[in-house]
Amino acid sequence: MGYQLERIPFELITTLEPLKNEQGRVIEYIPTITEDKKITKAVHPYRQGPYCTFTIPPNERSGVYALVINDRISYIADTMNLSRDINEGFGSIPKDAYLSDTHEINAKLLQEFYQGASVQLLFHETYHTPLLTHFLQKRFKPSWNCPHELDWYDNIHSNISFPSHTTGKYGRIFDYLNRIDTAYEWLTFTEIEAILQQPLPHSAYILSSWWGNNVQHTQAKSWIRAHYRVKKCILGRYVLFEKKSN
């Protein structure tokens, strides 16, 4: 079954199910709390548990995943190995749970399992994960993501600047796309204008055809020559460029 987050395709990997006992109750556990962990426990209440255990099927792909709880996007993150990061991460809290932030996600999920919530794991495969991750974090503002994670995307894109070697009105778009090697690139209109160092024309905001892949159009040449095409465009918001296969 397919899903879309901001028109970006995601697949349903699984519905998370915690380990249960013979009576059908969620098995929970609390790690041993030693004296040197008392201060940490006071500062981070989730680190005292209780926790649960769950796993997903083998899936070693890299990309971006989202935890969707009762149709609400609660957490978005990237991964280089999905099943490893889930199964060895917040799906199984180690005995010394005070050394990792995964305890909080696990503890929150346990509370959702108690209430019978549906917890879905969605995934989009890509090797270029950071920009997409923070793009989606910015759009959806998941409640389980830390505030500094949500600020990262703004900070990295606040001043896009690099030398342009291509002349022409839209040459800087070619330079930007030509120097990256990713299957997809998500850029907001503000970011594109920062790359161009000038405003986009009014027609770019009101006409979808302006973003068409017609090589006869000056602007289209800038991404087509860089071997990209516009896959999606939400007028006034963002453009999704897709690398063309050879």
Assess whether pLDDT exceeds 90 at residue 57.
Answer: yes
* Chain segment 32-45, per-residue pLDDT in tens: 655 444 444 444 56
**For range 14-33, the mean pLDDT:** 87
User: Distance of CA 170 to CAs 79, 157, 187, 237, Å?
Assistant: 34, 19, 15, 19
* Chain segment 66-82, per-residue pLDDT in tens: 999 999 999 999 999 99
Domain ranges of the chain: 2-143, 159-243
pLDDT of residue 160: 42
pLDDT of residue 98: 55
Strand partners for 12: 122
Assess whether pLDDT exceeds 80 at residue 230.
Answer: yes
* Chain segment 176-225, per-residue pLDDT in tens: 898 887 788 888 888 888 888 899 999 999 999 999 999 999 999 999 99
Q: Where are the alpha helices (DSSP H) in 5-81?
A: 38-43
2-143 has CATH 3.40.1440 classification: yes
User: Distance of CA 63 to CAs 124, 183, 196, Å?
Assistant: 6, 11, 29
What whole-number distance in Å separates Cα of residue 67 and Cα of residue 52?
Answer: 16
**For range 76-99, the mean pLDDT:** 84
What whole-number distance in Å separates Cα of residue 141 and Cα of residue 151?
Answer: 10
The enclosing H or E element of 151 equals helix 147-157
Assess whether pLDDT exceeds 60 at residue 99.
Answer: no
What whole-number distance in Å separates Cα of residue 200 and Cα of residue 114?
Answer: 51
Structure tokens at 44: 């981070």
Task: Return the SS3 of 227.
Answer: coil
Strand order of the sheet with strand 228-234? 184-188, 238-243, 228-234
pLDDT of residue 116: 93
pLDDT of residue 147: 66
* Chain segment 116-135, per-residue pLDDT in tens: 999 999 999 887 677 788 88
